[in-house]
A and B are shown apart, each in its own frame.
Chain A
Amino acid sequence: MYGRRLRGLALTTAALLTLTLVLVFFWAPNDATLGFLQKIFYVHVPLAIVTLCGFIAGGLMAIQHLRTRDARWDVRSYVAIHISLVFGIGVLVTGSIWAKGAWGHWWVWDEPTLVSFLLIMLLYATYQPLRFAIEDPERQSRYASVFAITAGAFVPMNFIAVRLSTAYLHPRVLGSTSNLPGPMALTFLVSLLALALLFATLCKYELTAKHTRAQLRALRRRLDGETAPAPARTRSAAPSLQPVARMSARAGGGPA
């Protein structure tokens, strides 16, 4: 069942997100050079890391789909990429806000992370149109998996290429965690964990919702009579889950 651990996951996520906000605004010290603006760093960079890992995870799940031909891996891949896209929009917007605050422009080409992200988002924005353009569900899943793997491999290489192209002109302002003082590093890590859990929660949420709808459709078909033909599926970019009937744990007679 998809929703089994959803509650615990969601509660943990909520707790960690709250903790993150508390740490960011009440505990982490202000940066000496960047000032209060540096606080954006605690949402922008973890969001970016989670998004990239989400895209790569989508690629890994796609590999599993091609290897096992199990449609569930394709659904997981789809959901991971879908939510990473949403997070990615958040990365671009928060990065843009940070650029405006730090340099006065809503967009800067100097920051390799932002530029890499723009490219990655341009690529993954074609994922849904690609799926939508293929009607046969099996072929849709297969082609989407090929795309997800290619794009997943593209992510690290894109980063390297863009970083190389700007490295000698402007130093990276969003520094790595290695030279962060203690309290800042801890806050950053907590934020990273919280956003990673948020990603996982939203994925699970989405999968549970999809599964519920599939169960609903199956139930409707069964109630309408076994002979009723399966309703023709309209064209959709989203893969569907096969419903799983759960045996009732409660004792008592009746059909299983």
Chain B
Amino acid sequence: MSGRPRTLAVVAALLRKEARVELRTFESIPAMTLFSVSTYVLFHFGLQEDTLEGNLASGVLWVTLLFAAVLGINRLFVADDEQGGFDAFLLSPADRSALLFGKAAALLAYLVVVEIVTVPAFALLLLGVGIGQTMPGLLAVLVLADIGVAVIGTLVGALAVRTRARDLLGPLLSLPLLVPIVIAAAKASTPLLASPVAALPARWLVTLALYDLVFAVIAYALFDYLLED
């Protein structure tokens, strides 16, 4: 056999493992989905509104998504930490960044699956305008925001999982880092969810993309230091 496996192959293997674990244990996705839907109901009662538009709709959508993501971030590395997954990975000849890419891709996949269910649920429960008019702009915003959440979530998850207060530190660390994503995503989707639908401001898409890029580079540079032990 040749020497080191190619990174892409390792990432693919990691993704397959994550999918297999998730399908067997159903740890993350059902919880994130149910949590989102419950939160929409909560917002209905909290805001005392039947339908939402514009900035209110945007806010409810993104805040709920963020908190669901935090649930996912909390669970992302727990199995690896408790059952020796970290050690197993370190012993393998794979490039360590592959763990970062693999886990980030897994978190991204979780978010996408959750959104496939919860965004229509949001449209059904709370949205005052037709969901059709918001696509494909909303899709673009969702994808870019999800990438940012996945990258930051993986970095923070790895950082928090091996501390004593991992359930507390995960959200505490990730929420401030995710705020600019919320700022940009909310600003971007507000005109899309408004009553006379307005155009998607490209400026915020660019901001999201830049933020994602910067943190992807930072995560790539720093991830190795979290793994050595």
A22 contacts the other chain (CB 8 A): no
A31 contacts the other chain (CB 8 A): no
Size of the B side of the interface (Cβ < 8 Å), in residues, is: 31
Closest to B187 in A: A165
Q: Most chain-B CB neighbours within 10 Å: which of A122, A150, A165?
A: A150
Residues of chain A within 8 A (CB-CB) of B180 are 157-158, 161-162
Take A161-B180, A165-B187 as given contacts and tell me if A135 and B164 are in contact as well, using a CB distance cutoff of 8 Å.
yes
Residues of chain B within 8 A (CB-CB) of A129 are 165, 168-169, 172
Take A135-B164, A162-B183 as given contacts and tell me if A146 and B214 are in contact as well, using a CB distance cutoff of 8 Å.
no
Residues of B150-165 contacting chain A, CB below 8 A: 155, 159-160, 162-165
For residue A120, give the distance in angstroms from its CB to the closest CB of chain B: 8
B177 contacts the other chain (CB 8 A): yes
Size of the A side of the interface (Cβ < 8 Å), in residues, is: 28
Whether the pair B169, A133 counts as a contact (CB closer than 8 A) is: yes
Per-position contact with A for B192-229: 1 when CB-CB < 8 Å, else 0?
00000000000100010001001100100010011011
Whether the pair B225, A122 counts as a contact (CB closer than 8 A) is: no
* Bound-state Cα–Cα, A92 to B97, Å: 39
Residues of chain B within 8 A (CB-CB) of A158 are 179-180
Take A135-B164, A161-B183, A164-B203 as given contacts and tell me if A123 and B177 are in contact as well, using a CB distance cutoff of 8 Å.
yes
Take A145-B225, A150-B218, A161-B183 as given contacts and tell me if A134 and B162 are in contact as well, using a CB distance cutoff of 8 Å.
yes
Whether the pair B207, A146 counts as a contact (CB closer than 8 A) is: no
Query: Which residue from B155, B163, B222 sits with its C-beta under 8 Å from A133?
Result: B163
Take A133-B169, A161-B211 as given contacts and tell me if A123 and B176 are in contact as well, using a CB distance cutoff of 8 Å.
yes
* Bound-state Cα–Cα, A147 to B173, Å: 9
* Bound-state Cα–Cα, A147 to B155, Å: 10
B52 contacts the other chain (CB 8 A): no
* Bound-state Cα–Cα, A235 to B203, Å: 47
Interface of A is mostly: helix
B126 contacts the other chain (CB 8 A): no
Take A122-B176, A129-B172, A145-B225 as given contacts and tell me if A164 and B218 are in contact as well, using a CB distance cutoff of 8 Å.
no
For residue A59, give the distance in angstroms from its CB to the closest CB of chain B: 10
Per-position contact with B for A115-129: 1 when CB-CB < 8 Å, else 0?
000011011001001
Interface of B is mostly: helix
Closest to B186 in A: A165
For residue A236, give the distance in angstroms from its CB to the closest CB of chain B: 13
For residue B70, give the distance in angstroms from its CB to the closest CB of chain A: 14
A15 contacts the other chain (CB 8 A): no
B106 contacts the other chain (CB 8 A): no
A107 contacts the other chain (CB 8 A): no
B184 contacts the other chain (CB 8 A): yes
A37 contacts the other chain (CB 8 A): no
Residues of chain B within 8 A (CB-CB) of A142 are 225-226, 228
* Bound-state Cα–Cα, A157 to B180, Å: 8
* Bound-state Cα–Cα, A143 to B176, Å: 18
* Bound-state Cα–Cα, A157 to B184, Å: 12
* Bound-state Cα–Cα, A154 to B176, Å: 9
Chain B interface (Cβ within 8 Å of chain A)?
A: 155, 159-160, 162-166, 168-169, 172-173, 175-177, 179-180, 183-184, 187, 203, 207, 211, 214-215, 218, 222, 225-226, 228-229
The 7 A-B pairs with the shortest beta carbon distances in the complex, nearest first, are A133-B163, A123-B176, A161-B180, A133-B164, A133-B165, A126-B172, A122-B176
13 further contact pairs, Cβ within 8 A, besides A133-B163, A142-B225, A147-B159 = A126-B172, A130-B169, A130-B173, A133-B164, A133-B169, A134-B162, A142-B226, A143-B226, A146-B225, A149-B218, A150-B218, A158-B180, A164-B203
Q: Could you list 9 A-B pairs, sorted by A, with CB under 8 Å?
A: A66-B222, A126-B176, A129-B172, A130-B163, A149-B222, A150-B222, A161-B183, A161-B184, A162-B180
